[in-house]
Amino acid sequence: MEQDLYPPSAETLEGARIKSYDEVSKRAAADPEDYWAREASELEWFEPWTQVLDWQPPFAQWFLGARCNIVHNCLDRHLKTWRRNKLALIWESETGEHRNFSYFALHREVTRFANVLKSLGARKGDRITVYMPRIPEQLIAILACARIGAIHSVIFGGFSVDALHERIMDAESRLVITADGGFMNEKVVPLKEMVDQAVRKSPSVEAVLVVRRVTQQRPDLKIPMEQGRDFWYDELAALPIATRPCPCEPMDSEDPLFILYTSGTTGRPKGILHVHGGYMVGAYSTFKNVFDIRDEDRYWCTADAGWVTGHTYIVYAPFLTGATQVMYEGAPSFPYPDRWWSIISRLGVNILYSTPTAIRGLMRYGEAWPDRHDLSSLRLLGSVGEPINPEAWRWFHRVIGKERCPIMDTWWQTETGSFMISPLPCVALKPGTATRPLPGIDMDVVDEHGNPVPQGQDGYLVIRKPWPSMLRTLYKNPDLYKQVYWSKVPGVYTTGDSARKDEDGYIWVVGRMDDVIKVSGYRLGTAEVESALVSHPAVAEAACIGLPHEVKGNSIKAFVVLREGHEAGPELEDELRDHVGTHLSKIARPDAIEIVDKLPKTRSGKIMRRLLKAKELGQPIGDTSTLED
């Protein structure tokens, strides 16, 4: 399997910005600070840096002394060039309407939004929670926060009330930006209703800004607005103050840009903190080099801006490079399973960046759907979120890419901010591996002492040296930052993944070593799902594990101990599933629930999920010496 090699075609190689991985990697490894400084100098800074890196392990600062604003590089910078009139964003709704924005228009809208935020009292350093459907205003709102120096905390629209509430509380947001709802599969997602429930219990929130989406088409829907707290965006945007100039707030390169909550081993989500300067450089450099973006391209990332993929590779990187991107509001199978292929052919998409889950899902509908459309505009494909199984890789390559388009399998994390392991177009590919670390990134597979493991053996996937777009800390919790990422293996950042290296130095990610489950590429913590289950009155205890799933990658199975007086049965199981859906997220609903008398635990009371999983998969149970009984 690992012998299956796809070298770059002559055409790909000819167009490639970087022609030799080895050459650039060697240069970057010899002097990483010089490499990153050169990448950074392609962007505009209000004031230059005096020092590239300050490394006080495990705390890094990049581009010290510099002043910048990521939005200046996304928008304002382009207005001085011909790109002022270039399309920045082509948006298609589920029902097929379009809204297009040139760089000029996007700048105008972001400025207007920023003025509205200011009129509500938002200031530099404030945390603003963004809970939006996939409409242009989702990106506009995020960019507007960054423009005025506020710190955005975007919550994926698929999260429910409790998850939203917990994240608002942790960030102590003063402002929440939402919409009256969103459309998905023709159904209305009641975002404002969830915000109402979440905000009722969140004392920090002073105002809720509501963008009109669903009531435009469904005026019959009544959206309750609380006087003095809730404001319609379109009403404030129509006021004269909204059209005033609103220059980008000059930020220190280490000033926070956003918090993005993600799941980990603890029950509470962790607030990953990124900053303006280094993050901007990582996003810009990786997007430019890996996707080889060109001015004539139309790029489409199918993710939601509520996840890190959407933050870096929808909201920021495409605009940083002056690219044109496509955004689609709805479901991939609406109204038929060829929606994506239809979008590609109608809009002439050249680069498609998607996930293994989506690919496997669309693969199931058969080749007739894509074959109905002209996909010849495609030049390059991308994948992210979980290991792509070689079968899905080959289908993507053959049926969608017509064996012409290289697949950039990009490995990275919310924490890393941008791609870490990924091919460049000039690199020979092997289905199922993201190949090697990008230039300037020092990664390896090691044992618990930090020694490289022999080729072919599993070990910890670690990062040795700091990189510009790394998380700076966990919001309000530097100790946990040290403990989670910098304590398992001495002196290096542990990713939480296990991996092995092959004879070419290609890294094969095996999976997570901790209690993170990737469901459809979405990152969930077992503890989060368990605490959602335990919040149901019938549940005394719960343990969740991930089991292999053909389309979703993993599915969740929950083992539940009931409180006295509650009857097991299919009805209760459905109720528990819905409970997780309404409290945490629909994605987190367990596929299977098994009612048990007790859970296997260590003598210190920790649930041994490993045993449950081994038993479920029919594997050897392994060491049980710590088992309670």
Residues of the shown chain interacting with ligand WTA in the complex, contacts defined by CB under 6 A: 262, 308-309, 384-387, 409-414, 434, 495-497, 509, 512, 518, 523
Q: For residues 192 and 518, which CB has a smaller minimum distance to ligand WTA in the complex?
A: 518
Backbone phi and psi for residue 594, each to the nearest 5 degrees, phi listed first: -120, 125
CB of 279 to ligand WTA, least distance (A): 14
Q: For residues 160 and 495, which CB has a smaller minimum distance to ligand WTA in the complex?
A: 495
CB of 260 to ligand WTA, least distance (A): 9
CB of 388 to ligand WTA, least distance (A): 7
Q: For residues 524 and 560, which CB has a smaller minimum distance to ligand WTA in the complex?
A: 524
Q: For residues 324 and 357, which CB has a smaller minimum distance to ligand WTA in the complex?
A: 357
CB of 451 to ligand WTA, least distance (A): 22
- Residue 11 sits at the vertex; the CA angle it makes with 7 and 16, to the nearest 5 degrees, is 80
CB of 159 to ligand WTA, least distance (A): 14
CB of 307 to ligand WTA, least distance (A): 6
CB of 70 to ligand WTA, least distance (A): 19
Q: For residues 268 and 373, which CB has a smaller minimum distance to ligand WTA in the complex?
A: 268
Strand boundaries in 447-486, DSSP class E: 459-463, 473-474
Q: For residues 511 and 356, give the distance between their C-alpha atoms in angstroms, rounded to a whole number.
A: 14
Q: For residues 312 and 350, which CB has a smaller minimum distance to ligand WTA in the complex?
A: 312
CB of 282 to ligand WTA, least distance (A): 13
Q: For residues 195 and 474, which CB has a smaller minimum distance to ligand WTA in the complex?
A: 474
| Bond before 356 cis per omega within 30 degrees | no
| Bond before 335 cis per omega within 30 degrees | yes
The helix/strand/coil state of 114 is: helix
Ordered DSSP codes for 59-78: EEEEEET-EE-HHIIIIIHH
Alpha helices in 233-315 (DSSP H): 233-237, 276-290, 308-310
Q: For residues 393 and 559, which CB has a smaller minimum distance to ligand WTA in the complex?
A: 393
CB of 530 to ligand WTA, least distance (A): 19
The helix/strand/coil state of 407 is: strand
Q: For residues 138 and 554, which CB has a smaller minimum distance to ligand WTA in the complex?
A: 554
Q: For residues 204 and 611, give the distance between their C-alpha atoms in angstroms, rounded to a whole number.
A: 43
- Residue 40 sits at the vertex; the CA angle it makes with 39 and 44, to the nearest 5 degrees, is 130
Backbone phi and psi for residue 139, each to the nearest 5 degrees, phi listed first: -70, -40
- Residue 338 sits at the vertex; the CA angle it makes with 337 and 340, to the nearest 5 degrees, is 110
Closest CA to 73 of 81, 85, 65, 63: 81
β-partners of residue 460 are 446, 498
Exposed e or buried b per residue across 79-102, where buried means at least 16 C-beta atoms within 10 angstroms of its C-beta:
eeeebeeebbbbbbbbeeeeeebb
Neighbours of 18 (CB within 10 A): 18
Backbone phi and psi for residue 419, each to the nearest 5 degrees, phi listed first: -55, 140
Q: For residues 625 and 610, give the distance between their C-alpha atoms in angstroms, rounded to a whole number.
A: 13
Closest CA to 380 of 404, 344, 358: 404
In the complex, residue closest to ligand WTA by CB: 414
Q: For residues 311 and 536, which CB has a smaller minimum distance to ligand WTA in the complex?
A: 311
The helix/strand/coil state of 509 is: strand
CB of 545 to ligand WTA, least distance (A): 16
Q: For residues 518 and 589, which CB has a smaller minimum distance to ligand WTA in the complex?
A: 518
> Structure tokens of 181?
């709802």
CB of 528 to ligand WTA, least distance (A): 14
Alpha helices in 184-261 (DSSP H): 191-200, 214-217, 233-237
CB of 137 to ligand WTA, least distance (A): 24
Q: For residues 116 and 517, which CB has a smaller minimum distance to ligand WTA in the complex?
A: 517
